[in-house]
A = this chain, B = another copy of it.
Amino acid sequence: MVIVGSVYRQTARTRILDAAEELFSGGGYDATPTARIAELAGVPKGLLFHYFPRKIDVLISLVDERTLVTEYDAEEVVEREAAAAPGDAAGALSRLARRLPLHASPAMRRILFREADTHLSVRERLGRLNAEIIKRARFALELAMPGGRGDAARLEAAAATFAAVLLYQESICQLTGHHIDPDAVAELIAHALG
Protein backbone atom coordinates (compact mmCIF):
# COMPACT_ATOMS: atom_id res chain seq x y z
CA MET A 1 0.00 0.00 0.00
CA VAL A 2 2.63 2.43 1.01
CA ILE A 3 4.77 1.49 -1.94
CA VAL A 4 1.85 1.68 -4.31
CA GLY A 5 0.92 5.04 -2.81
CA SER A 6 4.35 6.47 -3.40
CA VAL A 7 4.29 5.17 -6.92
CA TYR A 8 0.99 6.70 -7.73
CA ARG A 9 1.59 10.00 -6.04
CA GLN A 10 5.18 11.01 -6.66
CA THR A 11 6.70 12.86 -3.79
CA ALA A 12 6.91 16.60 -4.09
CA ARG A 13 10.69 16.44 -4.18
CA THR A 14 10.62 14.07 -7.13
CA ARG A 15 8.10 16.16 -8.99
CA ILE A 16 10.31 19.19 -8.49
CA LEU A 17 13.31 17.38 -9.92
CA ASP A 18 11.22 16.11 -12.82
CA ALA A 19 10.06 19.61 -13.62
CA ALA A 20 13.54 21.02 -13.30
CA GLU A 21 14.95 18.34 -15.59
CA GLU A 22 12.44 19.19 -18.23
CA LEU A 23 12.83 22.94 -17.97
CA PHE A 24 16.60 23.02 -17.58
CA SER A 25 16.99 20.81 -20.63
CA GLY A 26 14.60 23.01 -22.56
CA GLY A 27 15.59 26.57 -21.84
CA GLY A 28 18.68 26.18 -19.70
CA TYR A 29 19.32 26.64 -16.02
CA ASP A 30 19.67 30.40 -15.99
CA ALA A 31 16.61 31.00 -18.09
CA THR A 32 14.39 28.88 -15.89
CA PRO A 33 12.82 30.75 -12.96
CA THR A 34 12.27 28.77 -9.80
CA ALA A 35 8.67 29.86 -9.97
CA ARG A 36 8.20 27.98 -13.21
CA ILE A 37 9.75 24.83 -11.79
CA ALA A 38 7.37 24.95 -8.86
CA GLU A 39 4.46 25.65 -11.14
CA LEU A 40 5.22 22.73 -13.43
CA ALA A 41 5.79 20.49 -10.42
CA GLY A 42 2.49 21.58 -8.99
CA VAL A 43 3.98 22.67 -5.69
CA PRO A 44 4.05 26.07 -4.01
CA LYS A 45 7.18 28.09 -4.58
CA GLY A 46 8.21 27.88 -0.95
CA LEU A 47 8.32 24.11 -0.96
CA LEU A 48 11.00 24.12 -3.59
CA PHE A 49 13.23 26.02 -1.20
CA HIS A 50 12.26 23.66 1.57
CA TYR A 51 13.93 20.84 -0.29
CA PHE A 52 16.57 22.83 -2.17
CA PRO A 53 17.77 25.84 -0.18
CA ARG A 54 19.27 27.49 -3.24
CA LYS A 55 18.31 27.23 -6.88
CA ILE A 56 21.68 25.75 -7.72
CA ASP A 57 20.95 22.88 -5.33
CA VAL A 58 18.24 21.72 -7.69
CA LEU A 59 20.80 21.41 -10.46
CA ILE A 60 23.34 19.78 -8.20
CA SER A 61 20.84 17.23 -6.94
CA LEU A 62 19.77 16.54 -10.49
CA VAL A 63 23.32 15.85 -11.56
CA ASP A 64 24.11 13.86 -8.45
CA GLU A 65 21.05 11.69 -8.55
CA ARG A 66 20.30 11.32 -12.22
CA THR A 67 23.60 10.95 -14.02
CA LEU A 68 24.91 7.86 -12.32
CA VAL A 69 27.69 5.90 -13.88
CA THR A 70 26.30 2.39 -14.23
CA GLU A 71 27.16 0.13 -11.41
CA TYR A 72 27.09 -3.28 -13.01
CA ASP A 73 30.45 -4.93 -13.38
CA ALA A 74 31.38 -3.36 -16.68
CA GLU A 75 34.64 -5.18 -17.16
CA GLU A 76 33.10 -8.59 -16.73
CA VAL A 77 30.43 -7.86 -19.29
CA VAL A 78 32.97 -6.61 -21.79
CA GLU A 79 35.14 -9.66 -21.25
CA ARG A 80 32.26 -12.00 -21.86
CA GLU A 81 31.33 -10.14 -25.02
CA ALA A 82 34.91 -10.12 -26.23
CA ALA A 83 35.12 -13.87 -25.76
CA ALA A 84 31.90 -14.35 -27.67
CA ALA A 85 33.05 -12.32 -30.64
CA PRO A 86 36.85 -12.30 -30.75
CA GLY A 87 38.47 -9.70 -32.92
CA ASP A 88 35.34 -7.64 -33.34
CA ALA A 89 36.60 -4.25 -32.20
CA ALA A 90 33.86 -2.34 -34.00
CA GLY A 91 31.20 -4.44 -32.35
CA ALA A 92 32.79 -3.95 -28.96
CA LEU A 93 32.67 -0.18 -29.29
CA SER A 94 29.15 -0.24 -30.63
CA ARG A 95 27.99 -2.30 -27.69
CA LEU A 96 29.75 0.09 -25.37
CA ALA A 97 27.93 2.98 -27.01
CA ARG A 98 24.62 1.29 -26.39
CA ARG A 99 25.49 0.81 -22.75
CA LEU A 100 26.60 4.41 -22.45
CA PRO A 101 27.15 4.77 -18.73
CA LEU A 102 24.77 7.64 -18.49
CA HIS A 103 21.78 6.56 -16.55
CA ALA A 104 20.57 9.93 -17.67
CA SER A 105 17.85 10.81 -20.06
CA PRO A 106 18.78 12.78 -23.15
CA ALA A 107 17.47 15.77 -21.21
CA MET A 108 20.01 15.20 -18.49
CA ARG A 109 22.80 14.96 -21.04
CA ARG A 110 21.84 18.28 -22.50
CA ILE A 111 21.89 19.76 -19.02
CA LEU A 112 25.30 18.27 -18.32
CA PHE A 113 26.94 19.84 -21.34
CA ARG A 114 25.14 23.10 -21.16
CA GLU A 115 25.88 23.88 -17.54
CA ALA A 116 29.28 22.29 -17.27
CA ASP A 117 31.32 25.40 -17.88
CA THR A 118 29.31 27.50 -15.51
CA HIS A 119 28.91 25.16 -12.57
CA LEU A 120 31.83 23.34 -11.05
CA SER A 121 29.92 20.36 -9.70
CA VAL A 122 28.45 19.68 -13.11
CA ARG A 123 31.83 19.96 -14.74
CA GLU A 124 33.32 17.49 -12.30
CA ARG A 125 30.61 14.99 -13.03
CA LEU A 126 31.15 15.39 -16.76
CA GLY A 127 34.88 14.90 -16.34
CA ARG A 128 34.32 11.66 -14.47
CA LEU A 129 31.96 10.41 -17.14
CA ASN A 130 34.46 11.14 -19.86
CA ALA A 131 37.25 9.38 -18.00
CA GLU A 132 35.03 6.36 -17.43
CA ILE A 133 34.09 6.11 -21.08
CA ILE A 134 37.69 6.38 -22.19
CA LYS A 135 38.69 3.69 -19.74
CA ARG A 136 36.04 1.32 -20.98
CA ALA A 137 36.73 2.02 -24.64
CA ARG A 138 40.42 1.32 -24.12
CA PHE A 139 39.61 -1.88 -22.27
CA ALA A 140 37.20 -3.05 -24.95
CA LEU A 141 39.71 -2.36 -27.71
CA GLU A 142 42.53 -4.13 -25.90
CA LEU A 143 40.35 -7.19 -25.46
CA ALA A 144 39.20 -7.17 -29.05
CA MET A 145 42.70 -7.09 -30.49
CA PRO A 146 44.88 -8.97 -28.04
CA GLY A 147 47.83 -9.05 -30.33
CA GLY A 148 48.65 -5.51 -29.41
CA ARG A 149 48.68 -4.42 -32.98
CA GLY A 150 48.82 -0.72 -33.36
CA ASP A 151 50.87 1.29 -30.93
CA ALA A 152 49.68 2.52 -27.58
CA ALA A 153 49.37 6.15 -28.69
CA ARG A 154 47.04 5.22 -31.49
CA LEU A 155 44.88 3.19 -29.17
CA GLU A 156 44.76 6.12 -26.78
CA ALA A 157 43.67 8.49 -29.53
CA ALA A 158 41.05 5.98 -30.60
CA ALA A 159 39.59 5.70 -27.09
CA ALA A 160 39.54 9.45 -26.59
CA THR A 161 38.01 10.08 -29.99
CA PHE A 162 35.31 7.54 -29.43
CA ALA A 163 34.51 8.97 -26.00
CA ALA A 164 34.28 12.44 -27.48
CA VAL A 165 31.93 11.27 -30.20
CA LEU A 166 29.75 9.44 -27.69
CA LEU A 167 29.55 12.32 -25.27
CA TYR A 168 29.02 15.01 -27.85
CA GLN A 169 26.99 13.24 -30.48
CA GLU A 170 23.73 14.75 -29.34
CA SER A 171 25.28 18.13 -28.76
CA ILE A 172 26.78 18.05 -32.24
CA CYS A 173 23.49 17.10 -33.78
CA GLN A 174 21.57 19.72 -31.91
CA LEU A 175 24.02 22.53 -32.40
CA THR A 176 25.22 21.90 -35.93
CA GLY A 177 22.36 19.94 -37.38
CA HIS A 178 24.82 17.30 -38.50
CA HIS A 179 24.09 13.75 -37.35
CA ILE A 180 27.08 11.62 -36.49
CA ASP A 181 26.69 7.85 -36.22
CA PRO A 182 28.62 6.18 -33.39
CA ASP A 183 28.50 2.84 -35.19
CA ALA A 184 30.21 4.31 -38.23
CA VAL A 185 32.87 5.83 -36.03
CA ALA A 186 33.30 2.48 -34.27
CA GLU A 187 33.84 0.81 -37.62
CA LEU A 188 36.29 3.55 -38.62
CA ILE A 189 38.29 3.12 -35.46
CA ALA A 190 38.29 -0.65 -35.68
CA HIS A 191 39.65 -0.38 -39.18
CA ALA A 192 42.36 1.98 -38.03
CA LEU A 193 43.52 -0.39 -35.36
CA GLY A 194 42.86 -3.66 -37.09
Contacts and interface: CB of A to CB of B under 8 A. Distances in A.
Interface of A: 27-28, 30-31, 110, 113-114, 116-118, 123, 126-127, 129-131, 134, 150, 153-154, 156-158, 160-161, 163-165, 167-168, 171-172, 174-178, 180-181, 184-185, 187-189, 191-193
Contact of A157 (B27, B126, B187): B187
Nearest to A177: B127
Nearest to A110: B117
Task: Count copies of this chain in the complex.
Answer: 4
27 contacts: A27-B118, A28-B30, A28-B117, A31-B118, A110-B117, A117-B175, A123-B175, A127-B175, A127-B176, A127-B177, A130-B175, A130-B176, A131-B176, A150-B191, A154-B188, A157-B181, A157-B184, A157-B187, A157-B188, A160-B180, A161-B180, A163-B178, A167-B172, A167-B176, A168-B168, A168-B172, A191-B192
Contacts of A165: 161, 164
Contacts of A163: 178
Q: Is the interface of A mostly helix, strand, loop or mixed?
A: helix
Contacts of A118: 27-28, 31
Contacts of A177: 127, 130
Contacts of A157: 180-181, 184-185, 187-188
A156 B174 CA distance: 19
A134 B114 CA distance: 24
